[in-house]
Chain A
């Protein structure tokens, strides 16, 4: 079971926080195919957020094919999210890049800003396609 923590000050829409935390749980293996997500009632009881927000998050997860709603039973995980293994070549390259950034005198915030800028450019928000292609690539 996953426990959602809502940060009202984060500036990230509440439903997106639920989407992201669910995906994080999928990546970390805390949620596996067949697992049931908490009901909207359970989530709002614990977080005091609006029920429609939870439903919106679950609809988004469903649209991305990660979960499915079974009538009268609840919402269940359909597939897990592949993660890049810790020793993947991508990680090694990123490591080398971070070393070069450090050598070039960039500070942590500079690196984060640069990375986020490129990330946003290459993986725009609200683009499910990217995510799905990414998953397929991982499995192949």
Chain B
């Protein structure tokens, strides 16, 4: 057992003959038991990062360590749900879950998988191809959770879901995390979707890690400053705007904020948007120093 779920060092991936860079020099560490939001604009490298952790892609530079070993060796303990929720279209839901059982001998938790399916009012005899996008997501998540993974990698899991199903499936994911200490990584480009559910943030943009660490610590490391236009030194400025004489800035304070400026903690959305609007702002990686005993 290791206390690190994913650790990346100098991780990078280039695709194709033109050497298109999807990820470059990514370094972060995700402690086991965390629920991590993987956020970034379209094309930022989120899916590539998840596929590397799932062992479906091989890095072209650097390393990624999963549950203390290589992604390939950890595969049995990792569940990965790709963005397009690949399932066999001709199988029924019951067949699909039976396949999950057969492919995961000794690990499969039929009760968990079946409950997720029946909670959605799905008929086990229905063929996968007759299901809606949201229903397919539910079956894919049932397959993933039934595996009883230590690490759950979900690529845009909530995109196809109506608000009710989203809330309910997120609740099911959180319950699983609470009960088994499962590490969950969920990608999305909608911040609001993941706020409240995630305790860690990994913000990627332009193939690089922009922010990484516990959400509370990242928020506390920034201040949203407003006041008369002036010099913000010695603070690290992530983004600043001047409207008339009014200055609005997101900074990483280096000491007390100067007199005459109002400062407050940003929301997660403000933090993320400021970084996405300022691609040249320095990256920040915080490590989890509090060793929280997962109950």
Residues in chain A within 8 A of chain B (CB atoms): 6, 8, 14, 39-42, 44-55
Q: Report the minimal beta-carbon distance from B97 to chain A, rounded to whole angstroms.
A: 21
Interface of B is mostly: helix
Q: Report the minimal beta-carbon distance from B292 to chain A, rounded to whole angstroms.
A: 6
CB-nearest residue of chain B to A71? B295
With a cutoff of 8 Å between Cβ atoms, the chain A residues found around residue B198 in the complex are 50
5 A-B interface contacts by CB (under 8 A): A40-B295, A48-B174, A48-B196, A50-B177, A51-B35
Partner of A45, one of B175, B195, B196, B292: B175
CB-nearest residue of chain B to A39? B178
With a cutoff of 8 Å between Cβ atoms, the chain B residues found around residue A14 in the complex are 196
8 Å CB interface, B139-186 against A: 167-168, 170-175, 177-179
Considering the chains assembled together, what is the distance between the CA atoms of A45 and B119 in angstroms?
13
- CB <8 Å contact, B196 and A40: no
Q: C-beta contact mask, B20-41 vs A, less than 8 Å → 1, else 0?
A: 0000000000000001000000
Residues in chain B within 8 A of chain A (CB atoms): 35, 167-168, 170-175, 177-179, 192, 195-199, 292, 295
Partner of B167, one of A39, A48, A50, A54: A48
CB-nearest residue of chain A to B34? A52
Assuming the contacts A40-B295, A45-B172, A46-B171, asked whether A51 and B177 have C-beta atoms less than 8 A apart, the reply is yes
Q: Report the minimal beta-carbon distance from A11 to chain B, rounded to whole angstroms.
A: 8
- CB <8 Å contact, A45 and B199: no
User: Which 3 pairs show the lowest CB-CB distances between chains A and B?
Assistant: A44-B174, A51-B178, A48-B170
With a cutoff of 8 Å between Cβ atoms, the chain A residues found around residue B171 in the complex are 44-48
Partner of A8, one of B168, B175, B196: B196
